[in-house]
Amino acid sequence: MRSRAALSWSTSLFCLLFLSTVSPSTSSRPQWILQRVPVVLPEKTEDQPAPHFLSQARLDVASECDPECHKRAPRLSYWDLRRLLAFETLHSDGRLTETAIGIYGYNPNLNTSPAYASGSPAKAEGSRVRRRREIFGHDGRFSIAGQNFLLKFPFSVAVKLSTGCSGTLVGDRHVLTAAHCVHDGKNYVKGAQKLRVGFLKSKQRDAPQSTTNPTNHVEGAPYAPPTNDKMKFQWIRAKRTHVPKGWIKGNANDIGMDFDYALLELKKPHKRRYMKLGVSPPAQRLPGRRVHFSGFDNDRPGQLVYRFCQAGEETPDLLYQHCDAQPGASGSGVYARMWDGRRRRWERKVIGVFSGHQWVERQGASQEFNVAVRITPLKYAQICFWIKGNFVDCREG
């Protein structure tokens, strides 16, 4: 009975991921809509005191500020954005620099993002005493097994950080992850200076391809993780780590997770296919309102865990959903698959970074969310510049 259920889940997953969507016409397909994005340019870089690297990295982040709390927050001004999108760069030799930025081609009147510096919105009462949970009812996560899945796009873009989090390949030598995986809001965590990124690979160069399918936890049965005895992690050191000042100036537990993202530059190219960045569309424009992400959840050690679910509420900076996740998955790239009309093909793009957990009490009832930081046009411009090193290649997202 269990194997039959697992086979059913495997077949569904295969169809969801790898078969082309049949659509009667181009106009009915969910499409990526390219838009001109602002320009975010570095202006001045200064040396900063060396970090302490004292705290342990947190593998999950919690916030008591729910969607309504964010929507009540004052609007960010142009100068707020310049301050919050300024960034620190941690170098592998221990040096720390801070870079001021300029923003061009941006209309602040169109911005509705919540602000950290303009006063803290009210938090939900009573939320400090309830125990968090990250599994919503039936555990809907898939453990991916077998080289023919693990080494195939899109699963192959998921990587593991030496601090215990996950990340996503977004360039020839760049990894997008959560800021809290390297910085606790006050200082850089232990292991951040010698940060390494792990890639799953075969232990044997000429190992035969496994035919094992992804399996899902069957409700009511003990979890038995599939074995990947021919897989191991290959590690590459990070050369630079970029963290926005919006994360450093305001701790995520203040009002939320709006700036909980970071970009790692590796010391050498990883030579794998990576996933493109995309500006996060409104949830109602996502196919089936679904989001997807893969990461290395701690309760399934050594396993790559994939999940998908419907997106729920959203703010300009955050996307709320009930995707099952455990600590260790934070930093995973949240992506969607839609039709690229210019290239005439289906394209997966990273539209956010999985951050952590929020829950509030409303009229005596608990409401819980897992939260992803959305890639807004400004964040797209910033992250793209970190990757490309110029703004010319970052004008459309």
Helix (H, G, I), strand (E, B) or coil at 333: strand
Verify whether residue 340 is a known catalytic residue. no
* From 254, 299, 322, 340, active-site residue: 254
CA trace torsion 224, 225, 230, 236 (10° rounding): -150
Query: Residue 215 has what pLDDT?
Result: 45
Whether domain 2-394 has CATH 2.40.10.10: yes
**This prediction's pTM:** 0.82
pLDDT at 244 over 60: yes
Between 214 and 346, where is the model more confident? Answer: 346
Domain range annotation of the chain:
2-394
Residue 36 to residue 393: CA distance in whole angstroms: 11
Helix then strand then coil, in percent of the chain rounded to 5, is 20, 35, 45
Q: What is the pLDDT of residues 271-315, one digit of tens each?
A: 999 999 999 999 999 999 999 999 999 888 888 999 998 888 888
Query: How many Cα atoms occupy the beta-carbon half-sphere of 73 within 13 Å?
Result: 29
Query: Are 391 and 380 a contacting pair, CB within 8 Å?
Result: no
> Which residue in the list 10, 166, 210, 330 is annotated as catalytic?
330
Listed residue (238, 296, 286, 288) closest to 263, CA to CA: 238
Q: Is 52 annotated in the active site?
A: no
Using an 8 Å Cβ cutoff, are 29 and 87 in contact? Answer: no
Is residue 20 scored above 60 in pLDDT? no
Per-residue pLDDT tens digits for 379-393 = 999 999 999 999 999
For 84-99, write each residue's pLDDT tens digit.
999 999 999 999 999 9
The active-site residue, picked from 180, 270, 292, 357, is 180
State the pLDDT confidence band at 135, using cuts at 50, 70 and 90: low
Q: Classify 24 as helix, strand or coil.
A: coil
| Residue-wise DSSP of 332-382 | PEEEEEEEETTTTEEEEEEEEEEEEEEEEEETTEEEEEEEEEE--HHHHHH
In angstroms, the CA 290 to CA 284 distance is 9
Residue 254 is among the residues annotated as catalytic for this protein: yes
Burial code (b: 16+ CB inside 10 Å, e: under 16) for 25-36 equals: eeeebbbbeeee
CA distance 314 to 167: 22
DSSP, collapsed to helix, strand or coil, labels residue 22 as coil
pLDDT number for residue 82: 94
8 A C-beta contact, residue 98 and residue 77: no
- Report d(CA 321, CA 370) in Å as an integer: 5
